[in-house]
Chains A and B, each alone.
Chain A
Amino acid sequence: GENVEQHPSTLSVQEGDSAVIKCTYSDSASNYFPWYKQELGKGPQLIIDIRSNVGEKKDQRIAVTLNKTAKHFSLHITETQPEDSAVYFCAASNRGSTLGRLYFGRGTQLTVWP
C-alpha cells in the first residue's frame, strides 16, 4: 500500500514568516493530494488539494506544489498568523472511478509566535 512520510513533525515560526511542510509518497498510482488543518479537539479541515495533472496550486496565503517524478509535495504558508497554529496533515490517494482511501502523514504541529 501507499506510505506517506511528513516532515517536520514540529515547526515554530514567527508571525509573518513563511512555513513549509514537506511530504513524500511511495505509490506512483496516487493522483490526489489533499492537505488538512486540525485544531485541537476538532476534525480535520480541508485547506487545499492538488491533483497529479497540476504542478502547483495557490489559494491566497496557501500554496501546494507537487513533483510527481520525485514523489513529493509540499505545503507553503506565507505571512503566517497566530491563527495558523494547528496540526497539518498531508495525504495521498488513488482516485479513479471510485473514491480511494486516504493515506495520511503523521502530521506537523505548526506554532506561529506573535
Chain B
Amino acid sequence: GAVVSQHPSWVICKSGTSVKIECRSLDFQATTMFWYRQFPKQSLMLMATSNEGSKATYEQGVEKDKFLINHASLTLSTLTVTSAHPEDSSFYICSASRGFYNSPLHFGNGTRLTVT
C-alpha cells in the first residue's frame, strides 16, 4: 500500500489566495522530504528539499516566499503556495524516504492545483 500520503489530490482556488498541500509518511519517520512540480508531459522538477526542524533548501529559480515549506514533524511536510496565480497551476508531488542507505524514495499521488 501507499507509504506516502498527499492531500488534497486536487484543488481549485482563485487567483490571489493561498493553498496548502500536505505530505505525510504513513508508517515511518522521514527526516527529509522532497517537493516536485510537474508540467504536462514533462519530467519532475525538484523544487525544494524539506528537512525536519530546519529551513528548506530551495532549487535555483524557485521563489521561497511564494512556495513556503514547513517540515514540522518527522511525518509531515507542507507546501503552501501563497498568492497563487494561474501560472502556478501544476501537478505538485512530494516524496519521502526512510533515510537509510537502502531505503527507496516513495512518492505521493500528487496534487493537481488549478488557479482560476
- Please tell me if A101 contacts chain B, counting CB pairs below 8 Å: yes
Q: Which residue of A lies closest to B97 (CB)?
A: A99
- Of B11-19, B70-78, B81-89, B103-111, the one contacting chain A is B103-111
Q: Is A46 an interface residue (CB 8 A)?
A: yes
Docked complex: B3-27 residues within 8 A CB-CB of A = 4, 6
B42: interface (CB < 8 Å): yes
Interface centre among A34, A36, A43, A44 (most CB of B within 10 A): A43
Chain B interface category by residue count: 20 to 34
Q: Is the CB of B109 within 8 A of A42?
A: yes
Chain A residues closer than 8 Å to B62, beta-carbon distance: none
Counting contact residues on chain A (CB < 8 A from B), the size range is 20 to 34
Confirm or deny: A12 has a beta carbon within 8 angstroms of a beta carbon on chain B: no
Across the interface, name the chain B residue whose C-beta is closest to A49.
B104
**Chain B residues within 8 Å of A, Cβ to Cβ:** 4, 6, 32, 34, 41-44, 46, 49, 93, 95, 97, 99, 101, 103-110, 112
- Supply 30 A–B pairs (Cβ within 8 Å), ascending by A: A34-B104, A34-B105, A36-B107, A42-B109, A42-B110, A43-B6, A43-B107, A43-B108, A43-B109, A43-B110, A44-B93, A44-B107, A46-B106, A46-B107, A49-B104, A89-B43, A95-B101, A96-B101, A97-B101, A99-B32, A99-B103, A101-B34, A101-B49, A102-B34, A102-B46, A102-B105, A104-B43, A105-B43, A106-B43, A107-B42
Apart from A99-B103, A101-B34, 14 more pairs, CB < 8 Å: A36-B107, A43-B95, A43-B107, A44-B44, A44-B107, A46-B105, A46-B106, A89-B43, A96-B101, A99-B105, A102-B46, A107-B42, A107-B43, A109-B41
